[in-house]
Amino acid sequence: MFLQLTLSGLAQGAIYALIALSMTVVYRATTIVNFGHGDFVMAGAFAVYVLVIYLGLPYVPAAILAVGILFIMGVGVSRGFIDPIKSGPHIGFAMMSISLGYVLRGGARTLWGREVFPMPQVFDMEPIFLGDLVVTGDALFICAIVAILLTVFFLIFYRTTIGTVIQAVYQSERGATLIGVNVRAFHESMWGAGLAMGAMGGILIAPISLLHPDLGASFLIRGFAAMTLGGFGSLGGAVVGGLLLGVAEQYFGAYINTALIDITAYLVIVAVLVARPAGLFGKTVTVRM
């Protein structure tokens, strides 16, 4: 039982990790927390749905296309909505991101109303039985994809020139501009990358849960909880936080009370911020006057 919970917790957690990671990417690159991220994730999932159901594309090309669409959307968001308000107060970015998410949610609801959609299955695979454990095809797929994405991501971040550029811009935007980095294009591509990763998360989630316009909200909170637990701005922390959160939800739900599953994320947030605001891997920030 314990092991089964751990396994399903890890599968769920892998998705939370992906979402938290995509939010952290945007945060690390632009110091903006995308409060509307959950709704972009939902948009990614809906994009695949539209492509598969209405346009009849097979699943994998549809998924890739949806990720591409979200990448372009990210670039558009950065260029059209974030860039113009750059000179205003920082709180403006938070408001803008929430509102954009809200627009997406309203749009989805206008188009599809109160319906809830099942997503087409990715694999028609029999679950594997390892002794007492049941491992579903979906769970394996999710974990595999997330592991691959994370590896690719970390390689890019820490081993390539682009990764160094990302870190440079994060540490000092002005300095990066001075040495000739196109910071604007950088911001746009980071938003695109963050949203694209979020879309991947949405695509992975949708087959195991149902698709509806409010899908975003629960993921936003889980993403926050994972980021907070792992330490804001820490990429590895976001992943670890996501996995831990997924597992914790399963444990709390099974051993204490099923009602706690919804609320574990909030409890984690409050607990972490009260006890150790920096999270597991975050740096404690000292503000210099």
Partner 1 sequence: MSRLQRIYYLIPVVALVIPFMANEYLLWVVNAMLVYILVTVGFNLVIGNLGQLAFANTAFFGIGAYTAAILMVYAGIPYVLAIVASAVAGGVAGFLASVTALRGIRLYYLAIITLAFGELMRWVYLHGDKVTRGSDGLQIPQPSFFWIPLDSEMPKFYVFLLLTVLVVKATSNLMRSRIGRAIVSIRDNEASTASLGIHTARYIVVAFVWSGSVVGIAGAMFAALIERVFPESFGLTEIIVHFGMVLVGGTGSIVGSVLGAITLTALPEYFRQFPGMDELLFGVIIVLVLLFLPKGLVSLLCRISPAFNERYYRE
Catalog residues that contact partner 1 under the rule CB under 8 A: 33, 35, 81, 84-85, 88, 90-92, 94-96, 98-111, 113-114, 213, 217, 221, 224, 228, 232, 259, 262-263, 265-267, 269-270, 273-274, 277, 289
Q: How far is the CB of 232 from partner 1 (least distance, A)?
A: 7
Please give the C-alpha separations between residue 80 and each of 65, 146, 152, 194, 224, in angstroms, as whole numbers: 22, 30, 29, 16, 25
Q: How far is the CB of 87 from partner 1 (least distance, A)?
A: 10
- Taking the least distance from each CB to partner 1, the nearer of 55 and 91 is 91
Q: How far is the CB of 228 from partner 1 (least distance, A)?
A: 6
> Phi/psi class of residue 102: alpha, beta or left (left: φ > 0; alpha: ψ in -120 to 50)?
alpha
- Taking the least distance from each CB to partner 1, the nearer of 103 and 152 is 103
Q: How far is the CB of 266 from partner 1 (least distance, A)?
A: 4
- Taking the least distance from each CB to partner 1, the nearer of 186 and 232 is 232
Distance CA 289, CA 286 (A): 10
Q: How far is the CB of 125 from partner 1 (least distance, A)?
A: 36
- Taking the least distance from each CB to partner 1, the nearer of 104 and 146 is 104
Q: Are residues 201 and 246 in contact, defined by beta-carbon separation less than 8 angstroms?
A: no
Residue of 196, 204, 202, 173 lying closest to 186 (CA atoms): 173
Q: How far is the CB of 208 from partner 1 (least distance, A)?
A: 23
CA-based diameter of the chain, in Å? 60
Distance CA 65, CA 86 (A): 30
- Taking the least distance from each CB to partner 1, the nearer of 72 and 103 is 103
- Taking the least distance from each CB to partner 1, the nearer of 21 and 100 is 100
